[in-house]
Amino acid sequence: MELNSDFSQRAAMHGAALDWVASPMAGVERRMFDRLGDEVARATTIVRYAPGSRFSPHVHTGGEEYLVLEGVFQDEHGDFPVGTYVRNPPQSEHTPGSEPGCVIFVKLWQFDLADRTPVRIDFNAMPAQPCTGRPGVQIIPLFQDCREEVRIEHWPANGEISLDAPGGLEVLVLDGSFSEAGENFVYQSWLRLPAGGHLSARAGPEGARVWVKSGHLRERPRAPVVE
């Protein structure tokens, strides 16, 4: 399956307007943003767990990165409420589920396969910092290595946001709204700009809080090789 698979082009999806699609596991549904591959795929997805649902134990051969948007996500490593950012590196394993139900934003097979660094951050407990050279913008750093940078950004009400993306850029709206290229982005809206792109956006009257990943699209993404 291919969805928004031309990474040289801008892509936008509005999660809250998409239908939920059943996954192979009962009680777990998805809203797909981009995808290369079939059930094992390089994928960016919103996933909803019904109360009491869970996946069977599995290994994340290509790594898993997720952000809890609603409810509480759970596995044997703990309970992860809204505002938790997690990186489960390649070869990690778990049995995910949710007793109360939850919604998460998930990225699969997008790691350096040699990465073995787990990350678990409650960014609601972290103070935002002024961003140097970008007046009015505040950030909460989540992760950075030689390949990519991941952060939360707070954009001021009606603020003009200008940001080069030499290595590509993804933005997911957590609160508030923004407009870009004549398109309005609200909660669960997602924007991907290719390497060499430029973000020129305007925050809504209430401002915006967004998850941002940059630098990770310098090389052309490929579907996982399944042996």
Please report whether residue 224 resides in a domain. Answer: no
Its pTM surpasses 0.85? yes
Range of the domain at 154: 127-214
* Residue 172: C-alpha distances to residues 14, 51, 64, 175, 188 (Å): 10, 24, 17, 9, 6
Same domain? For 40 and 75 the reply is: yes
Considering the domain architecture, whether residues 11 and 110 belong to the same structural domain is answered as yes
Q: Decide if pLDDT at 227 tops 70.
A: no
Same domain, residue pair 99 and 189: no
Residue 68's Cβ-count burial label (10 Å; 0-12, 13-18, 19+) is buried
Whether residue 174 sits in one domain with residue 94: no
Among 79, 99, 122, the domain boundary falls at: 122
For residue 115, how far is the Cα from the chain centroid? 18
Residues 56, 115 share a domain: yes
For residue 223, the model assigns a pLDDT of 86
| pLDDT surpassing 70 at residue 114 | yes
Number of CB atoms found within 10 A of residue 194's CB: 16
User: Cα 117 to chain center, whole Å?
Assistant: 18
The 10s digit of each residue's pLDDT in 94-109 is 999 999 999 999 999 9
Q: Tell me the pairing of strands 149-155 and 197-214.
A: antiparallel
